[in-house]
Copies of this chain bind each other. A is one copy, B any other.
Amino acid sequence: MTTAHLAFDETNDAIADRVRVMRSSAVRDLFSAATRADVISLSGGMPDVSLLPASALEAAMGAALRDERAIALQYGPTDGLASTRRVVCDLMRDIGVRVKPDQVLLTSGAQQALDLLAKTFINPSDIIIAEGPTYLGALQAFSAYQPDVRCIPFDEDGMRMDLLEAELKTIGKGNPRLKFCYTIPNFQNPGGVTMSMERRKRLLELSHEYGFFVVEDDPYGRLRYDGGHMVPLKALDSDVVYLGTVSKTFAPGLRTGWIVAPKTVLARINLVKQGTDLCGSAMNQVVVEHYFVDTPWERTLQGFVKVYRERRDAMLAALDEFFPPEASWTHPEGGFFVWVTLPPYFDTDSMLSEALEAGVTYVPGNSFFPDGKTGRNSMRINFSYETPEKIAEAIRRLAGAIQDRLDLYRAFIAAGAIKVPEEA
Protein backbone atom coordinates (compact mmCIF):
# COMPACT_ATOMS: atom_id res chain seq x y z
CA MET A 1 0.00 0.00 0.00
CA THR A 2 1.30 3.40 -0.91
CA THR A 3 0.91 5.87 1.92
CA ALA A 4 1.62 9.54 2.22
CA HIS A 5 3.32 9.02 5.57
CA LEU A 6 5.20 12.10 6.69
CA ALA A 7 8.54 10.67 7.78
CA PHE A 8 10.33 13.13 9.98
CA ASP A 9 13.53 13.10 8.01
CA GLU A 10 11.28 14.75 5.45
CA THR A 11 10.45 17.59 7.84
CA ASN A 12 12.01 19.88 5.31
CA ASP A 13 9.04 19.43 3.00
CA ALA A 14 6.53 20.34 5.68
CA ILE A 15 8.09 23.47 7.18
CA ALA A 16 6.72 26.92 6.48
CA ASP A 17 8.38 29.23 3.97
CA ARG A 18 9.42 31.63 6.74
CA VAL A 19 11.65 28.94 8.27
CA ARG A 20 13.52 28.22 5.03
CA VAL A 21 15.19 31.64 5.16
CA MET A 22 16.25 31.41 8.81
CA ARG A 23 19.87 31.06 9.79
CA SER A 24 21.08 29.73 13.11
CA SER A 25 22.75 32.24 15.35
CA ALA A 26 26.53 32.02 15.22
CA VAL A 27 26.55 33.13 18.84
CA ARG A 28 24.28 30.23 19.86
CA ASP A 29 26.34 27.76 17.84
CA LEU A 30 29.48 28.98 19.53
CA PHE A 31 28.12 28.46 23.03
CA SER A 32 29.32 24.86 23.03
CA ALA A 33 32.82 25.79 21.86
CA ALA A 34 32.98 28.51 24.47
CA THR A 35 32.47 26.03 27.27
CA ARG A 36 35.84 24.36 26.56
CA ALA A 37 37.98 25.27 29.53
CA ASP A 38 41.03 26.31 27.48
CA VAL A 39 39.09 28.71 25.25
CA ILE A 40 38.47 32.32 26.30
CA SER A 41 35.15 33.47 24.91
CA LEU A 42 34.80 36.99 23.54
CA SER A 43 31.76 35.87 21.57
CA GLY A 44 28.95 35.95 24.13
CA GLY A 45 26.87 38.84 25.34
CA MET A 46 26.31 37.66 28.86
CA PRO A 47 26.40 39.78 32.00
CA ASP A 48 28.49 38.44 34.85
CA VAL A 49 25.73 37.30 37.21
CA SER A 50 28.28 36.33 39.86
CA LEU A 51 28.45 40.06 40.61
CA LEU A 52 24.88 39.97 41.98
CA PRO A 53 24.84 39.73 45.81
CA ALA A 54 23.09 36.60 47.13
CA SER A 55 21.27 38.78 49.66
CA ALA A 56 19.64 40.81 46.88
CA LEU A 57 18.25 37.69 45.24
CA GLU A 58 16.99 36.39 48.57
CA ALA A 59 15.25 39.68 49.29
CA ALA A 60 13.70 39.77 45.81
CA MET A 61 12.48 36.17 45.98
CA GLY A 62 11.16 36.52 49.50
CA ALA A 63 7.94 38.18 48.33
CA ALA A 64 7.26 35.42 45.82
CA LEU A 65 7.68 32.84 48.60
CA ARG A 66 5.59 34.67 51.17
CA ASP A 67 3.22 37.64 50.71
CA GLU A 68 2.60 37.34 46.97
CA ARG A 69 2.69 33.58 46.54
CA ALA A 70 -0.84 33.30 45.15
CA ILE A 71 -0.09 35.91 42.49
CA ALA A 72 3.37 34.54 41.65
CA LEU A 73 2.04 31.01 41.06
CA GLN A 74 -1.03 31.91 38.97
CA TYR A 75 -1.66 33.00 35.38
CA GLY A 76 -1.28 36.77 35.08
CA PRO A 77 -2.47 39.49 32.72
CA THR A 78 -1.15 39.24 29.14
CA ASP A 79 0.59 42.63 29.50
CA GLY A 80 2.10 41.79 32.90
CA LEU A 81 1.31 42.49 36.54
CA ALA A 82 0.26 46.10 37.16
CA SER A 83 2.55 46.37 40.20
CA THR A 84 5.59 45.36 38.12
CA ARG A 85 4.59 47.75 35.33
CA ARG A 86 4.47 50.53 37.91
CA VAL A 87 8.08 49.72 38.87
CA VAL A 88 9.03 49.94 35.18
CA CYS A 89 7.47 53.42 35.12
CA ASP A 90 9.79 54.40 37.99
CA LEU A 91 12.81 53.02 36.10
CA MET A 92 11.77 54.94 33.00
CA ARG A 93 11.35 58.18 34.99
CA ASP A 94 14.96 57.81 36.20
CA ILE A 95 16.13 58.14 32.59
CA GLY A 96 13.81 61.00 31.75
CA VAL A 97 10.75 59.24 30.34
CA ARG A 98 7.39 59.85 32.04
CA VAL A 99 4.85 57.14 31.29
CA LYS A 100 1.90 55.43 32.99
CA PRO A 101 1.53 51.66 33.56
CA ASP A 102 -0.97 51.38 30.69
CA GLN A 103 1.82 52.45 28.34
CA VAL A 104 3.98 49.52 29.49
CA LEU A 105 3.74 45.86 28.40
CA LEU A 106 6.02 43.26 29.98
CA THR A 107 7.72 40.72 27.70
CA SER A 108 9.84 37.60 28.10
CA GLY A 109 13.10 39.51 27.70
CA ALA A 110 13.44 42.24 25.08
CA GLN A 111 13.84 39.43 22.53
CA GLN A 112 10.12 38.66 22.79
CA ALA A 113 9.41 42.37 22.32
CA LEU A 114 11.26 42.23 18.98
CA ASP A 115 9.24 39.18 17.91
CA LEU A 116 5.94 40.77 18.95
CA LEU A 117 6.71 44.03 17.17
CA ALA A 118 7.57 42.26 13.95
CA LYS A 119 4.59 39.93 14.27
CA THR A 120 2.27 42.89 14.79
CA PHE A 121 3.55 45.13 12.03
CA ILE A 122 5.44 43.23 9.33
CA ASN A 123 3.95 41.78 6.16
CA PRO A 124 6.39 39.98 3.83
CA SER A 125 8.52 42.57 1.91
CA ASP A 126 7.72 45.41 4.31
CA ILE A 127 10.71 47.66 4.95
CA ILE A 128 12.56 47.92 8.27
CA ILE A 129 15.52 50.25 8.70
CA ALA A 130 18.33 49.31 11.09
CA GLU A 131 21.92 50.08 11.76
CA GLY A 132 24.26 47.85 9.78
CA PRO A 133 25.72 45.93 11.55
CA THR A 134 22.90 45.43 14.08
CA TYR A 135 21.84 43.05 16.87
CA LEU A 136 21.63 39.59 15.33
CA GLY A 137 18.78 38.56 17.64
CA ALA A 138 16.73 41.37 16.12
CA LEU A 139 17.56 40.14 12.62
CA GLN A 140 16.48 36.62 13.66
CA ALA A 141 13.24 37.88 15.22
CA PHE A 142 12.39 39.99 12.18
CA SER A 143 13.36 37.36 9.59
CA ALA A 144 10.42 35.10 10.58
CA TYR A 145 8.13 37.75 9.09
CA GLN A 146 10.19 38.10 5.89
CA PRO A 147 10.86 41.86 5.84
CA ASP A 148 13.20 43.82 3.61
CA VAL A 149 15.79 45.11 6.12
CA ARG A 150 17.77 48.16 4.92
CA CYS A 151 21.01 48.68 6.84
CA ILE A 152 22.48 52.12 7.47
CA PRO A 153 26.18 52.30 8.47
CA PHE A 154 27.29 54.03 11.66
CA ASP A 155 30.35 55.97 12.71
CA GLU A 156 31.47 56.96 16.25
CA ASP A 157 28.34 59.18 16.51
CA GLY A 158 25.91 56.38 15.66
CA MET A 159 23.73 55.80 12.59
CA ARG A 160 24.73 58.13 9.74
CA MET A 161 21.81 60.43 9.06
CA ASP A 162 23.07 61.47 5.61
CA LEU A 163 23.00 57.83 4.49
CA LEU A 164 19.63 57.26 6.18
CA GLU A 165 18.14 60.22 4.34
CA ALA A 166 19.51 58.98 1.02
CA GLU A 167 17.91 55.57 1.66
CA LEU A 168 14.62 57.18 2.67
CA LYS A 169 14.59 59.15 -0.58
CA THR A 170 14.73 55.90 -2.56
CA ILE A 171 11.93 54.46 -0.37
CA GLY A 172 9.77 57.54 -0.73
CA LYS A 173 7.61 59.57 1.67
CA GLY A 174 4.57 57.79 3.09
CA ASN A 175 5.50 54.47 1.49
CA PRO A 176 3.05 52.02 3.13
CA ARG A 177 5.69 49.27 3.10
CA LEU A 178 8.00 51.34 5.35
CA LYS A 179 7.17 50.34 8.94
CA PHE A 180 9.85 51.23 11.46
CA CYS A 181 13.48 52.07 12.14
CA TYR A 182 15.13 49.79 14.69
CA THR A 183 18.01 51.43 16.55
CA ILE A 184 20.19 50.74 19.59
CA PRO A 185 21.26 54.32 20.33
CA ASN A 186 23.37 53.59 23.45
CA PHE A 187 26.55 51.48 23.15
CA GLN A 188 25.17 49.74 20.10
CA ASN A 189 25.31 45.97 19.74
CA PRO A 190 27.60 45.09 18.03
CA GLY A 191 29.14 48.48 17.28
CA GLY A 192 29.68 49.90 20.76
CA VAL A 193 28.90 53.37 19.39
CA THR A 194 26.39 55.90 20.79
CA MET A 195 24.07 58.10 18.75
CA SER A 196 24.75 61.81 19.24
CA MET A 197 21.97 64.13 20.41
CA GLU A 198 21.98 65.94 17.06
CA ARG A 199 21.39 62.65 15.23
CA ARG A 200 18.69 61.54 17.69
CA LYS A 201 16.76 64.70 16.89
CA ARG A 202 17.34 64.28 13.16
CA LEU A 203 16.14 60.66 13.21
CA LEU A 204 12.90 61.75 14.87
CA GLU A 205 12.41 64.53 12.31
CA LEU A 206 12.91 62.05 9.49
CA SER A 207 10.46 59.58 11.09
CA HIS A 208 7.72 62.20 10.92
CA GLU A 209 8.70 63.41 7.48
CA TYR A 210 8.77 59.95 5.91
CA GLY A 211 6.08 58.22 7.99
CA PHE A 212 7.67 55.48 10.04
CA PHE A 213 8.03 54.90 13.77
CA VAL A 214 11.25 54.51 15.75
CA VAL A 215 11.97 51.41 17.87
CA GLU A 216 14.56 52.32 20.50
CA ASP A 217 16.24 49.21 21.96
CA ASP A 218 18.09 50.17 25.12
CA PRO A 219 19.45 47.16 27.02
CA TYR A 220 22.73 48.84 27.97
CA GLY A 221 21.69 52.44 28.74
CA ARG A 222 22.37 52.07 32.47
CA LEU A 223 25.85 50.64 31.88
CA ARG A 224 27.74 53.84 31.11
CA TYR A 225 31.44 53.99 32.05
CA ASP A 226 32.37 57.47 30.72
CA GLY A 227 30.58 60.63 29.72
CA GLY A 228 27.14 61.94 30.64
CA HIS A 229 23.65 60.45 30.33
CA MET A 230 22.09 60.77 26.87
CA VAL A 231 18.39 61.63 26.67
CA PRO A 232 16.45 58.65 25.25
CA LEU A 233 14.62 59.11 21.95
CA LYS A 234 11.44 58.20 23.86
CA ALA A 235 11.91 61.27 26.07
CA LEU A 236 12.06 63.45 22.95
CA ASP A 237 9.05 61.97 21.15
CA SER A 238 6.14 60.08 22.73
CA ASP A 239 5.51 58.14 19.48
CA VAL A 240 8.77 56.21 19.95
CA VAL A 241 8.47 52.52 20.89
CA TYR A 242 11.04 51.88 23.65
CA LEU A 243 12.37 48.44 24.62
CA GLY A 244 13.92 47.80 28.03
CA THR A 245 15.09 44.73 29.97
CA VAL A 246 16.39 43.65 33.37
CA SER A 247 18.89 41.29 31.72
CA LYS A 248 21.82 43.65 32.27
CA THR A 249 20.72 45.47 35.45
CA PHE A 250 19.48 42.39 37.33
CA ALA A 251 19.60 39.00 35.58
CA PRO A 252 18.74 37.45 32.18
CA GLY A 253 17.41 34.28 33.87
CA LEU A 254 14.30 36.24 34.90
CA ARG A 255 13.45 36.90 31.21
CA THR A 256 11.79 40.20 31.93
CA GLY A 257 11.75 42.98 29.39
CA TRP A 258 9.23 45.64 28.43
CA ILE A 259 7.77 47.71 25.64
CA VAL A 260 6.87 51.32 26.34
CA ALA A 261 4.59 52.57 23.58
CA PRO A 262 1.41 54.53 22.88
CA LYS A 263 -1.67 52.70 24.20
CA THR A 264 -3.11 52.09 20.73
CA VAL A 265 0.09 50.27 19.74
CA LEU A 266 0.12 48.22 22.95
CA ALA A 267 -3.51 47.18 22.40
CA ARG A 268 -2.48 45.57 19.12
CA ILE A 269 0.62 43.95 20.60
CA ASN A 270 -1.42 42.66 23.54
CA LEU A 271 -3.79 40.90 21.13
CA VAL A 272 -0.84 39.32 19.33
CA LYS A 273 0.76 38.32 22.63
CA GLN A 274 -2.37 36.44 23.81
CA GLY A 275 -1.84 33.80 21.15
CA THR A 276 1.93 33.81 21.56
CA ASP A 277 2.22 32.97 25.27
CA LEU A 278 -1.07 33.85 27.02
CA CYS A 279 0.96 35.68 29.68
CA GLY A 280 4.50 36.01 30.99
CA SER A 281 5.77 34.47 34.22
CA ALA A 282 4.06 36.12 37.20
CA MET A 283 6.73 34.48 39.38
CA ASN A 284 9.50 36.32 37.54
CA GLN A 285 7.54 39.57 37.50
CA VAL A 286 7.05 39.46 41.28
CA VAL A 287 10.77 38.78 41.79
CA VAL A 288 11.76 41.62 39.45
CA GLU A 289 9.36 44.03 41.12
CA HIS A 290 10.78 43.33 44.55
CA TYR A 291 14.38 43.49 43.35
CA PHE A 292 13.81 47.09 42.33
CA VAL A 293 11.70 47.95 45.38
CA ASP A 294 13.28 46.02 48.27
CA THR A 295 17.01 45.93 47.47
CA PRO A 296 19.72 48.61 47.08
CA TRP A 297 19.87 47.85 43.34
CA GLU A 298 21.42 51.17 42.37
CA ARG A 299 24.43 50.45 44.56
CA THR A 300 24.61 46.94 43.06
CA LEU A 301 24.49 48.52 39.59
CA GLN A 302 27.38 50.84 40.49
CA GLY A 303 29.32 47.68 41.31
CA PHE A 304 28.54 46.23 37.87
CA VAL A 305 29.62 49.48 36.21
CA LYS A 306 32.92 49.53 38.09
CA VAL A 307 33.78 45.94 37.09
CA TYR A 308 32.68 46.29 33.46
CA ARG A 309 34.63 49.56 33.14
CA GLU A 310 37.81 47.79 34.26
CA ARG A 311 37.17 45.05 31.71
CA ARG A 312 36.53 47.52 28.91
CA ASP A 313 39.72 49.37 29.82
CA ALA A 314 41.63 46.08 29.84
CA MET A 315 40.32 45.28 26.37
CA LEU A 316 41.11 48.69 24.89
CA ALA A 317 44.61 48.61 26.42
CA ALA A 318 45.24 45.12 25.03
CA LEU A 319 43.99 46.14 21.60
CA ASP A 320 46.43 49.07 21.64
CA GLU A 321 49.24 46.78 22.72
CA PHE A 322 48.69 43.71 20.54
CA PHE A 323 46.57 44.53 17.47
CA PRO A 324 48.32 45.32 14.16
CA PRO A 325 48.08 48.76 12.51
CA GLU A 326 45.74 47.29 9.85
CA ALA A 327 42.99 46.97 12.49
CA SER A 328 40.77 49.74 13.85
CA TRP A 329 38.11 49.53 16.55
CA THR A 330 35.42 51.49 18.33
CA HIS A 331 35.81 53.01 21.83
CA PRO A 332 32.54 52.33 23.68
CA GLU A 333 31.51 54.57 26.58
CA GLY A 334 29.37 51.74 27.94
CA GLY A 335 27.72 48.43 27.16
CA PHE A 336 29.42 45.14 26.40
CA PHE A 337 31.07 45.28 22.97
CA VAL A 338 33.92 46.57 20.82
CA TRP A 339 33.65 46.42 17.02
CA VAL A 340 36.87 45.68 15.15
CA THR A 341 37.37 46.50 11.47
CA LEU A 342 40.10 44.91 9.35
CA PRO A 343 41.13 45.55 5.72
CA PRO A 344 38.40 44.92 3.11
CA TYR A 345 40.00 41.69 1.87
CA PHE A 346 40.05 40.16 5.39
CA ASP A 347 37.61 37.30 6.19
CA THR A 348 36.89 36.89 9.92
CA ASP A 349 34.27 34.21 9.22
CA SER A 350 36.78 31.73 7.84
CA MET A 351 39.35 32.77 10.46
CA LEU A 352 37.10 31.61 13.32
CA SER A 353 38.39 28.03 13.35
CA GLU A 354 41.98 29.32 13.51
CA ALA A 355 41.07 31.59 16.41
CA LEU A 356 39.36 28.70 18.20
CA GLU A 357 42.57 26.70 17.77
CA ALA A 358 44.47 29.63 19.29
CA GLY A 359 42.02 29.50 22.23
CA VAL A 360 39.72 32.48 21.64
CA THR A 361 36.27 33.07 20.12
CA TYR A 362 34.52 36.16 18.71
CA VAL A 363 31.54 36.74 16.47
CA PRO A 364 32.34 37.30 12.76
CA GLY A 365 30.96 40.62 11.49
CA ASN A 366 28.74 39.09 8.80
CA SER A 367 26.51 37.63 11.54
CA PHE A 368 25.19 41.14 12.13
CA PHE A 369 23.98 41.79 8.58
CA PRO A 370 20.73 40.43 7.12
CA ASP A 371 22.47 38.93 4.07
CA GLY A 372 25.00 37.05 6.23
CA LYS A 373 27.76 38.22 3.87
CA THR A 374 28.43 41.92 4.39
CA GLY A 375 30.89 42.75 7.15
CA ARG A 376 33.20 39.76 6.81
CA ASN A 377 36.18 42.03 7.47
CA SER A 378 34.93 42.89 10.94
CA MET A 379 34.16 41.21 14.25
CA ARG A 380 32.42 41.78 17.57
CA ILE A 381 34.35 41.18 20.78
CA ASN A 382 32.77 41.14 24.23
CA PHE A 383 34.34 42.41 27.46
CA SER A 384 31.59 41.85 30.05
CA TYR A 385 32.16 38.26 31.00
CA GLU A 386 35.88 37.56 31.47
CA THR A 387 38.40 38.99 33.95
CA PRO A 388 40.80 41.75 32.78
CA GLU A 389 43.67 39.22 32.77
CA LYS A 390 41.77 36.77 30.60
CA ILE A 391 40.59 39.54 28.28
CA ALA A 392 44.20 40.69 27.76
CA GLU A 393 45.28 37.12 27.07
CA ALA A 394 42.35 36.60 24.66
CA ILE A 395 43.27 39.75 22.73
CA ARG A 396 46.90 38.59 22.57
CA ARG A 397 45.77 35.26 21.10
CA LEU A 398 43.37 36.93 18.70
CA ALA A 399 46.11 39.33 17.55
CA GLY A 400 48.28 36.31 16.77
CA ALA A 401 45.57 34.74 14.62
CA ILE A 402 44.98 38.03 12.82
CA GLN A 403 48.72 38.51 12.23
CA ASP A 404 48.99 35.02 10.69
CA ARG A 405 46.10 35.83 8.39
CA LEU A 406 47.58 39.20 7.44
CA ASP A 407 50.85 37.46 6.52
CA LEU A 408 48.88 35.08 4.32
CA TYR A 409 46.92 37.92 2.68
CA ARG A 410 50.18 39.84 2.05
CA ALA A 411 51.53 36.83 0.19
CA PHE A 412 48.34 36.67 -1.88
CA ILE A 413 48.50 40.39 -2.59
CA ALA A 414 52.17 40.11 -3.63
CA ALA A 415 51.20 37.24 -5.95
CA GLY A 416 48.36 39.32 -7.42
CA ALA A 417 45.72 36.89 -6.16
CA ILE A 418 44.03 39.69 -4.13
CA LYS A 419 43.63 43.08 -5.74
CA VAL A 420 43.99 46.03 -3.39
CA PRO A 421 42.96 49.54 -4.54
CA GLU A 422 45.85 52.05 -4.77
CA GLU A 423 44.58 54.15 -1.88
CA ALA A 424 44.27 51.17 0.47
B-binding residues in A (CB < 8 A): 3-9, 11, 13-19, 22, 24-25, 28, 31, 46, 49-50, 52, 54, 57-58, 61, 64-65, 69-78, 108-109, 111-112, 114-115, 119-123, 126, 137, 140-145, 173-174, 176, 179, 207-213, 239, 247, 251-255, 262, 264-265, 268, 271-272, 274-284, 287
Instruction: Select one of B15, B211, B255, B268 contacting A281, CB under 8 A.
Output: B255
Bound state CA distance, A111 and B111, in angstroms?
A: 17
A14 contact set on B, CB distance < 8 A: 121, 179, 213
Q: Which of A74, A255, A282 has the most CB atoms of chain B within a 10 A radius of its CB?
A: A255
Bound state CA distance, A233 and B412, in angstroms?
A: 61
Q: B120 near A19 (CB under 8 angstroms)?
A: yes
Q: A69 near B57 (CB under 8 angstroms)?
A: yes
Q: B208 near A5 (CB under 8 angstroms)?
A: yes
Q: A74 near B57 (CB under 8 angstroms)?
A: no
Determine the residue in chain B with the shortest Cβ distance to A110.
Answer: B278
Q: B75 near A57 (CB under 8 angstroms)?
A: no
Determine the residue in chain B with the shortest Cβ distance to A116.
Answer: B276
Contacts A111-B276, A141-B276, A255-B283 supplied; 10 other A-B pairs, CB < 8 Å: A6-B212, A13-B176, A16-B126, A25-B274, A57-B73, A61-B65, A72-B253, A73-B251, A108-B281, A276-B276
Q: B75 near A252 (CB under 8 angstroms)?
A: yes
Bound state CA distance, A65 and B275, in angstroms?
A: 32
Q: B6 near A271 (CB under 8 angstroms)?
A: no
Q: A4 near B211 (CB under 8 angstroms)?
A: yes
A247 contact set on B, CB distance < 8 A: 75
Bound state CA distance, A69 and B251, in angstroms?
A: 11
Q: A11 near B277 (CB under 8 angstroms)?
A: no
Q: B54 near A74 (CB under 8 angstroms)?
A: no
Q: B121 near A253 (CB under 8 angstroms)?
A: no
Instruction: Select one of B3, B16, B76, B255 contacting A120, CB under 8 A.
Output: B16
Q: A253 near B4 (CB under 8 angstroms)?
A: no
A143 contact set on B, CB distance < 8 A: 275
Bound state CA distance, A279 and B65, in angstroms?
A: 24
A119 contact set on B, CB distance < 8 A: 16, 18-19, 144
Bound state CA distance, A15 and B116, in angstroms?
A: 12
Q: A49 near B73 (CB under 8 angstroms)?
A: yes
The contact sample of 20 A-B pairs, CB cut-off 8 A, is A3-B173, A4-B208, A4-B211, A8-B239, A13-B176, A16-B119, A19-B120, A28-B78, A28-B274, A54-B65, A57-B73, A73-B253, A75-B253, A108-B281, A111-B277, A114-B275, A115-B275, A254-B283, A255-B277, A283-B287
Bound state CA distance, A9 and B238, in angstroms?
A: 13
A9 contact set on B, CB distance < 8 A: 264
Instruction: Select one of B140, B211, B213 contacting A3, CB under 8 A.
Output: B211
A49 contact set on B, CB distance < 8 A: 69-70, 73-74
Determine the residue in chain B with the shortest Cβ distance to A213.
Answer: B6
